[in-house]
Amino acid sequence: MRVMVIVKASPESEAGEMPSEQLLTEMGAYNEELVKAGIMLAGEGLHPSSKGKRVRFSGKDRTVIDGPFAETKELIAGFWLWQVKSMDEAIEWVKRCPNPMNSESDVEIRQVFEAEDFGAEFTPELREQEDRLRAQIADKQ
């Protein structure tokens, strides 16, 4: 199963404070463990929401909203995409993570939908399209 591991923003990350050399070193070592274990598929930190945009959908209308966005607890500072055997395995790996912030922080784990999760509505034609798009993405990397 694939999971997205979401590092929630903090007041410090939203202020644009960069991590210390020590935290970067600890995270680098942690990421190496994830890669060696065959867990990590991708992972990145994100700039603060002050550099972000949101697009609000309302019927056919689209409205662009400039950051920063108010509620820090709802914002994302970074993420990993992992391949794990179970949610329990993902939890165990997150527990080993260095605290990603200088203060108290939250890391959320969410399962990624797979093709089989969509049932009959995900027709063979849609599956073929999905496979083709994934192959194109892999070719561009």
| pLDDT for the residue numbered 74 | 84
Question: ∠ CA(135), CA(137), CA(141), 5° rounding?
Answer: 115
Residue pLDDT, tens place only, 6-43: 999 999 999 999 999 999 999 999 999 999 999 999 99
| pLDDT for the residue numbered 81 | 98
Residue pLDDT, tens place only, 42-82: 999 999 999 999 999 999 999 999 999 887 678 999 999 99
| pLDDT for the residue numbered 37 | 97
Question: ∠ CA(118), CA(86), CA(45), 5° rounding?
Answer: 85
Q: Rounded CA gap, 7 and 97, in Å?
A: 11
Spatial neighbors of 93 by CB under 8 A, at least 6 apart, are 5, 34, 39, 82, 84
**Residues constituting the chain:** 141
Q: Which domains does the chain have, with CATH numbers?
A: 2-114 (3.30.70.1060)
